[in-house]
């Protein structure tokens, strides 16, 4: 029977070098040939996963941690951070010399140029410094934003912005989402739209932004290289992404 397999990208499909291991490619190919649907659940924007979608022949994905959901190449759900909240974020960050980055489905735009934390964190995604436009959010829907601060600074943002969700993915960078945003909600939207039973869904992740979906879906698998909270939330823990983690998990689950 067909299953839907949702994979996080960074640390799950991609290793540290942002390469999909050969064993993972082999496992996904076999799974597709076995009739299962491969889907993505990522914090990345759609324009940042184009190559993954093309190379793996994927038409269904949850991006921006659940704010932009696509099923069979059709956008079925979007959510965004309000313009008022973004205005306040910019003002608060500016007072701390901390820029904001906006993301929509087409591009990434920063409020300030030449900020070291922006360059450092985006370099880990193999992504260049964004273009600059402090007012970009006024004319475009912003599905997700980035703030650039350490863990102490994050506490201040949490005090000032209780109406958003803040998820750290780098020592100097956090995602800003709508309060109800999560990969779990994105997967729920696909469930409802396509009438997919929860027991036919499997999710694979490694990070803090995967905790909700790993908790929500009973068939959940955390990577061996994953964050302790991701492992705690998952039903199973597989091997490291570089040690055939995906292949071994799909084998264990008898999906390949």
Q: Which helix (H) or strand (E) holds 241?
A: none
Cα 131 to Cα 108: distance, rounded to the nearest angstrom: 7
Cα 158 to Cα 136: distance, rounded to the nearest angstrom: 24
Three-class secondary structure of residue 213 per DSSP: helix
Question: Is residue 8 annotated as a catalytic residue, yes or no?
Answer: yes
- Positive or negative torsion for Cα 235, 3, 104, 178: negative
The DSSP code for 246 is: H
Cα 121 to Cα 136: distance, rounded to the nearest angstrom: 21
Query: Tokens standing for 12?
Result: 């799950």
* Active-site option among 8, 104, 175, 206: 8
Spell out the residues 6+ positions from residue 192 whose beta carbon is closer than 8 angstroms to its own: none
> Which residues carry out catalysis?
8
């Amino acid at each position: 029977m067909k299953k839907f397999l949702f994979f996080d990208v960074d640390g799950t499909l991609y290793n540290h070098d942002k390469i999909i291991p050969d064993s993972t490619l082999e496992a996904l190919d076999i799974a597709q040939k076995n009739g299962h649907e491969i889907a993505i659940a990522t914090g990345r924007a759609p324009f940042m996963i184009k190559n993954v979608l093309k190379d793996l022949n994927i038409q269904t994905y949850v991006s921006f941690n659940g704010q932009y959901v696509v099923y069979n190449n059709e956008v079925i759900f979007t959510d965004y951070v309000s313009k008022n909240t973004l205005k306040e974020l910019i003002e608060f960050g500016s007072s701390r010399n901390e820029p904001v980055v906006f993301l929509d489905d087409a591009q990434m735009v920063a409020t300030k140029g030449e900020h070291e934390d922006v360059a450092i964190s985006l370099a880990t995604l193999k992504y260049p410094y964004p273009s600059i436009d402090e007012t970009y959010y006024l004319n475009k829907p912003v599905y997700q934003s980035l703030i650039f601060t350490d863990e102490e600074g994050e506490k201040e943002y949490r005090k000032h912005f209780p109406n958003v969700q803040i998820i750290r993915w780098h020592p100097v960078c956090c995602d800003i989402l709508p309060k109800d945003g999560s990969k779990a909600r994105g997967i729920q939207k696909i469930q409802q739209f396509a009438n997919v039973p929860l027991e036919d869904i499997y999710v694979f992740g490694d990070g803090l932004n995967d905790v909700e979906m790993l908790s929500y879906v009973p068939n959940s698998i955390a990577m061996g290289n994953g964050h302790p909270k991701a492992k705690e939330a998952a039903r199973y823990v597989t091997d490291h992404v570089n040690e055939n983690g995906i292949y071994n998990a799909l084998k264990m689950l008898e999906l390949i």
